[in-house]
Amino acid sequence: MSAQTFHVQGMSCSHCERAVTQAVQALDPQAQVTIDLASGRVEVASSQPAAALAQAIAQAGYAVQG
């Protein structure tokens, strides 16, 4: 499992945290997700590739940067 960090725009509340976490865990149920709303940083420990994780977050409706 490797850690990936993403900068996600549009997250502002606990609902956003849940939505992003659920999107990632739908792809990888074992993923560990840590979110800092203030900075927009999402850290994901997962065996999935970064591109797949970013796509899952984007499909949940959030803009992902690197």
Residue 61 pLDDT > 70, yes or no? yes
Q: How far apart are CA 47 and CA 9, in angstroms?
A: 24
Confidence at residue 66, expressed as pLDDT on a 0 to 100 scale: 62
- Domain-wise residue ranges, the chain: 2-65
Contact 17, 35 (CB under 8 A): yes
Measured between alpha carbons, how far is 11 from 30 in angstroms, rounded to an integer?
Answer: 22
Mean pLDDT value of segment 46-65: 96
CATH code of domain 2-65: 3.30.70.100
Of the pLDDT bands very low, low, confident and very high (cuts 50, 70, 90), residue 2 is: confident
Q: Quick check: 9 and 60 in contact, CB under 8 A?
A: no
Each residue of 3-46: pLDDT tens digit? Answer: 999 999 999 999 999 999 999 999 999 999 999 999 999 999 99
Single-letter code of the amino acid located at 28: D
